[in-house]
Amino acid sequence: MASVDTTIQLIRTTGRNARGEVQEACSPALARGPWDFDGVVQYGPGSSMHDRIPADSPRQGAIPEEYKLASTEELHERIRAAKEALGDRVVVLGHFYQRDEIVQHADFLGDSFQLANAAQTVPNAEAIVFCGVHFMAETADVLAREGQAVILPNLAAGCSMADMADIDSVEEAWAQLEALYGTEPDAEGRAPIIPVTYMNSSAALKGFCGRHGGIVCTSSNAETVLEWAFERGQRVLFFPDQHLGRNTAKRMGVPLERMPMWNPRKPLGGNSGDDLLDAKVVLWHGFCSVHKRFTPAQVAQARAEHPGVRVIVHPECPMEVVDAADEAGSTDYIRRAVEAATEPTTFAIGTEINMVNRLAAEFPQHEIFCLDPVVCPCSTMYRIHPGYLAWVLEELVAGNVVNRIEVDDTVKADARVALERMLAAKPKAA
């Protein structure tokens, strides 16, 4: 199967995909180099391009002209040569949502937490090149050993969802909630509220959770983590992804009316004091623009056109989509579900297109397609172009560390506490 980059070029020039079918991409700007939009105020072409980018987000400085002008073949050759010269002094990590042109150079492929852990299996590596987005590189730095440098090839590769909850807004929300709930535990020793942050958040928010008796979760363990939090608290403040929080709590039996949404731009998040007093989970007003694209109508269309189709979606999708699907689970869950299917199966998948296309290429015995008919990658992941990877690796060969991501030591210590609580949380015995 053609990579998403190749498909986008084909659509741009012919209006058709590699199978000759008429298809569209979500933005014509996808065909341009990321350096063309690194300085703009949006995340760039792709699923999150219309989200607001925070004013203080890191921006990528100039990359030498030679990397912009080099052909793809030349860049691949230079990446291979630099990796060979560096040997096990460097480890390259590639996220599932990354373009194939990057993934082919990765030593490990996985989700953000799998990759941060994978880096720890290579303790001799002096540099960890994280081909993902900003919060992932921060998590790798929190878990890295002393002296290891974590590098993000393009500093402008943020994550629009992670950027929807900044530390100042969360501190402000916390102050309002503490004023309402107080700080005293109830008769069972449970705190009034426990903060829970999704892995897709800044290190500052993980540190906040570490400091306030809270915890981190991933899309694989969100239910176990919420159980952990409900044992210790009367309610939870869940950020930044409202959908993961809602889908998980709903599956655990929390009624929707006990899950008010917190809008950081309104007093009390836009809620009445009574609603917040009755809340079990206060959901931050954040979302992933990639997974927000999926709709129940797409699920219905997949079922109409492919009788017997198995629909699996990511829990970052809206609740109505998760309800309409057959299953919902993390990227790792989706991968394992496809791997485990012994009979040829038709899968309609609701997650990022690079991952879906890669699964389709890897498991040709199945028919696998993305629920969204429009080719639209995660715009922030898309900023990691082979030109940036070649540049940071060649700088390493020359003895220079560029684009290093370093988390402040105090934040790091607090964030590690929240991550360690997550690792220690175990699902309740059935």
* Residues engaged in binding ligand SF4 (CB under 6 A): 48, 97, 133, 159-161, 200, 288-290, 352, 378, 380-381
CA distance 313 to 408: 36
Q: How far is the CB of 288 from ligand SF4 (least distance, A)?
A: 3
Query: Tokens 């082979």, residue?
Result: 386
Q: How far is the CB of 164 from ligand SF4 (least distance, A)?
A: 10
Query: Tokens 């180099």, residue?
Result: 33
User: Looking at beta carbons only, is 381 or 402 nearer to ligand SF4?
Assistant: 381
Indicate if the alpha-carbon torsion angle 15, 20, 21, 23 is positive or negative: negative
- Surface-to-core class of residue 257, CB atoms within 10 Å of its CB (0-12 exposed, 13-18 middle, 19+ buried): exposed
Instruction: Kindly state the tokens that stand for 364.
Output: 């040709």
3-class DSSP state for residue 266?
Answer: coil
Q: How far is the CB of 429 from ligand SF4 (least distance, A)?
A: 32
Beta-bridge partner residues of 91 = 128
CA distance 257 to 250: 10
State CA 296 to chain mean position distance: 22
Q: How far is the CB of 424 from ligand SF4 (least distance, A)?
A: 25
CA distance 233 to 154: 39
Q: How far is the CB of 248 from ligand SF4 (least distance, A)?
A: 16
Q: How far is the CB of 183 from ligand SF4 (least distance, A)?
A: 32
Q: How far is the CB of 71 from ligand SF4 (least distance, A)?
A: 28
| End-to-end CA gap in the chain | 42
Decide if 359 contacts 100 (C-beta within 8 A): no
R_g over Cα of the chain: 22
CA distance 174 to 299: 38
3-class DSSP state for residue 134?
Answer: helix
User: Looking at beta carbons only, is 97 or 369 nearer to ligand SF4?
Assistant: 97
Q: How far is the CB of 48 from ligand SF4 (least distance, A)?
A: 5
